[in-house]
A and B are shown apart, each in its own frame.
Chain A
Amino acid sequence: MNYTSLFGYLLGEVVLTAAAFVILIADVMCHRKDDVGARNQRMAWWTLTGLFLAAVVYAIQFAQGNANFADGTLVINPLNLFFKEVILVITAITVFFSMEEPVSKHVGEYYAMILFAAIGMAFLVTSENLLMIFVSIELLSLSLYALVGFQKQILRSAEGAMKYFAFGAVSAAFLLFGLSYIYGATNSLSLPAIAETFKGDPLMARSPVLLIGILFTLVGFGFKIAVVPFHLWAPDAYEGAAAPVAGFVASGSKVASFVALTKFLLLGVAPAAGAATISFPFTPHFTPGWAPVIALMAFISMVWGNLAAITQTNLKRLLAYSSVAHAGYILVALFGAKAWGQTAIYFYIIVYALTNLGAFGVVTALANKVGGDDIRCFAGVWRRAPGLTVLMMIFMLSLAGIPPLAGFFGKFYLFAAGLAADQMQLGYLWLVITAILMSAVSFYYYLQVLRVFYVNPASRGGPISICPCQRWPMTVIALIIFLIGWYPTALLDWIQGFLQRV
């Protein structure tokens, strides 16, 4: 084993870790006496420097060849590097959002925890090993629990963190238990090696021990991606967390978890899929495996997420339920043919994460100035912050999936992948129809939010000034959503190209 090259592969994460420690210790040692706002800005720039350096390292690694270190604990290929870059971008935008106003007086810890979470995400998208996946999910979750609870003076924040933590702890136990069963059944930890065992052993695909392991693992993943019935933490955690943190949980953590879940299911245990198809004159056909579980979770998430979102009066809770619904849409594509399904999921998760981050950015920028994050507080914001309202319109319409925007093509690819599943026998048509119907339902609440922003009579107050550190990242996100909407094939070709070079 070559330790020097290992260090080279890990350099990006090493940079992030070093940045986290420098921030953590510099803030508490050198800047303790300074004003909180000034410290916040200084530490934010340090964080951004660290993120930028790591991004440069990953960019250089693109040019080098693929590598697979020790049983898939560290897999370097263009796809993984691309997702690491996406995570760095999401983290950087989160940092920009938190720049104007410190989330808490523990500034250094805040940015260090964001970096720790980013390290966890980076490891999560880059590993194809069950042990590594578990450890990085834990690093990610632990940092996020703390981040959600950072505003301790607010009871809501403490409650959100507590619920997030309690659910997270139980689901981590399920995840670890499931992974141990998978290891017990297949005697290997790396996903490609697990896939190999199916070839040698025809009984493996319906081994009950393996299936129960997969089931429990899906409970753990279901918590991370917040699908029904493991979504209960999401509304409270999103509502309690500071808006930038909520955006970070809703985007960065989702990207990393979905990439890991997709790899786990399609790369590792694909032969144990089973089936949950309903062919034309209503003849359901079930075979045990992960497909029925995923289909059920997708179905309930789409229905429940969208219906519950309608009744919400708090914008962050509404976004939480909408994210539950979106997680359901994404699961539909898991049934697609391997390459096509993967492409659709990767495409959508990037678009979705950026859009959601933008929506939470609008909440960050406005919530304090309009007096809360209830939807009614945003009444008539159109007159007070016209630019931001236009951005919000773009984000909401993209989440709803209105044609010229990226969200539409994302959903289109997802549902197309769902249709192409089951060897073109339309076995998962029932899921796709649910998804399309529920997307139509989701128009209602997204447009309802926009109606409040635009039509409802304005509350008192003059124009709202938005910090450039929030305005510019949001504008860039909106532009990206527009560009992907105009040239969806560009991103699609990119992802497909990366997938071929895996």
Chain B
Amino acid sequence: MLWFVLLFGLMTLVTGICAISVRNIVHCALFAVVFFFGIACLFFTLRAEFLAAVQIIVYIGAIAILILFAIMLTHDVTGEAAGGMIHVGGITGGVVAVAVAGSIMVALFRESLIRNSQSLVERTAAAPQVSVKTIGEALMTPYVVPFEVVSILLTAALVGAIVLALEQRPAKKEGS
């Protein structure tokens, strides 16, 4: 199992780095698809089957298409060479990313020290397996208010996106 986690983790990491560093944004989007799939695989290894399925349905099935269509709206797919990642923004971003990842790892490590080597993984492994049915019951019974708010949230997103996207483009027309 551990090997699968490492394999999927590596896959996610590599495609994630590719998605932000490749010059052609269509390729970026395709790398992002593999990245989303890697995340879904990681959810599988964590036994969150429903989450993994949702990840595939929503991110690969819908968000990736959205990204591709957004790219189709742009004028040009290959921009100027970004000059690698060695510039002020890239270095700051890298430092922040390393700091975030490092602090998470240190926290997880120290947690197991404090708890007499009973790590968080062991404690959470004892948690009962969550089935789709449990999720459905939780959504319908205690968490019904957030559930309904999500529908308002989605509608607000729909309305906002339509208003922002639905504008007659300026007279300059190309193709189509």
**A interface, CB within 8 angstroms of B:** 1, 6, 10, 17, 24, 69-71, 73-74, 104, 106, 109, 112-113, 116, 119, 123, 127, 129, 131-132, 135-136, 138-139, 142-143, 145-146, 149-150, 152, 161, 184-185, 203, 206-209, 211-212, 215
Chain B 127-171 against A: per-residue CB contact (8 Å), 1 yes, 0 no? 000000000000001111110011011011101111110010000
B152 engages A139 (CB within 8 Å): yes
B108 engages A208 (CB within 8 Å): yes
B115 engages A152 (CB within 8 Å): no
Nearest residue in B to A123 (C-beta to C-beta)? Answer: B149
Q: Cβ of B107 < 8 Å from any Cβ of A?
A: yes
Taken together as a complex, chains A and B put the C-alpha atoms of A152 and B162 apart, in Å, by 12
A70 engages B111 (CB within 8 Å): no
B106 engages A113 (CB within 8 Å): no
Asked, given contacts A150-B163, A207-B114, A209-B120, whether A143 binds B156 with beta carbons under 8 Å apart, the answer is yes
B145 engages A132 (CB within 8 Å): yes
B142 engages A73 (CB within 8 Å): yes
Across the interface, which residues of B come within 8 angstroms of A185, CB to CB?
Answer: 120
Across the interface, which residues of B come within 8 angstroms of A145, CB to CB?
Answer: 160
A73 engages B107 (CB within 8 Å): no
Q: Using a Cβ–Cβ cut-off of 8 Å, how many residues does chain B contribute to the interface with A? A: 31
Taken together as a complex, chains A and B put the C-alpha atoms of A112 and B158 apart, in Å, by 12
B149 engages A209 (CB within 8 Å): no
B146 engages A208 (CB within 8 Å): no
Most chain B beta-carbon contacts within 10 A, residue among A24, A138, A139, A206? A139
Taken together as a complex, chains A and B put the C-alpha atoms of A377 and B55 apart, in Å, by 51
Q: Cβ of B78 < 8 Å from any Cβ of A?
A: no
Taken together as a complex, chains A and B put the C-alpha atoms of A149 and B162 apart, in Å, by 12
Q: Cβ of B110 < 8 Å from any Cβ of A?
A: yes
Asked, given contacts A112-B159, A143-B156, A146-B156, whether A203 binds B114 with beta carbons under 8 Å apart, the answer is yes
Closest Cβ of chain A to B7, distance in Å, is 23
B124 engages A132 (CB within 8 Å): no
B164 engages A146 (CB within 8 Å): yes
A113 engages B160 (CB within 8 Å): yes
B152 engages A119 (CB within 8 Å): yes
Taken together as a complex, chains A and B put the C-alpha atoms of A22 and B114 apart, in Å, by 56
Q: Cβ of B72 < 8 Å from any Cβ of A?
A: no
Across the interface, which residues of A come within 8 angstroms of B155, CB to CB?
Answer: 116
30 contacts between A and B (CB under 8 A): A6-B144, A69-B145, A70-B144, A71-B142, A73-B142, A73-B143, A104-B163, A106-B163, A109-B162, A109-B163, A113-B156, A113-B159, A116-B156, A123-B145, A131-B143, A135-B146, A135-B149, A139-B156, A143-B160, A146-B159, A146-B163, A150-B163, A152-B164, A203-B114, A207-B111, A208-B111, A208-B114, A209-B111, A209-B120, A212-B107
Taken together as a complex, chains A and B put the C-alpha atoms of A443 and B21 apart, in Å, by 47
Query: Which residue in B103, B145, B164 is a CB contact (below 8 Å) of A73?
Result: B145
Nearest residue in B to A126 (C-beta to C-beta)? Answer: B145
11 new A-B contacts at CB < 8 Å, known A73-B143, A131-B143: A73-B142, A109-B160, A113-B156, A139-B152, A142-B156, A150-B163, A152-B164, A207-B111, A208-B106, A209-B120, A212-B104
